[in-house]
Amino acid sequence: MISATLISWYLHYLLTLNLLLQYYEAGAKAMQNRIKNDDNINKAWAFANALKANGMNGVEITAMLNEHGYKTSRGCQYYHQTTMRLLK
């Protein structure tokens, strides 16, 4: 027979997982809204896609973004992985 303590712990565990999922979804939605409204990211995205259309690879695009002064949403320079996320 399952004890009441075990059932109580399991219900608490499920509630905690549900709350964590809600917080994660809310955070992801806030991040998407912030990115959509960030003019610098939108300009960098357009610039990077134009370079990609002209045949440049990710490393070259990253160098061009940094040379032209584009910054990430946190005000940092672009790295290869950041550029790849921008181009998705």
Kindly tell me if the per-residue pLDDT of 35 is higher than 80. Answer: no
Cβ-count burial 7-33 (b if 16+ within 10 Å, e if not): eeeeeeeeeeeeeeeeeeeeeeeeeee
pLDDT at 88: 85
Mean of per-residue pLDDT scores for the chain? 91
CA distance 1 to 12: 19
Kindly tell me if the per-residue pLDDT of 47 is higher than 90. Answer: yes
pLDDT digits (tens, 9 = 90+) for 58-84: 999 999 999 999 999 889 999 999 999
Half-sphere exposure of 50 (CA within 13 A, CB side): 8
What pTM does this model have?
0.65
Angle at which helix 80-87 crosses helix 58-67, to 10 degrees, equals 100
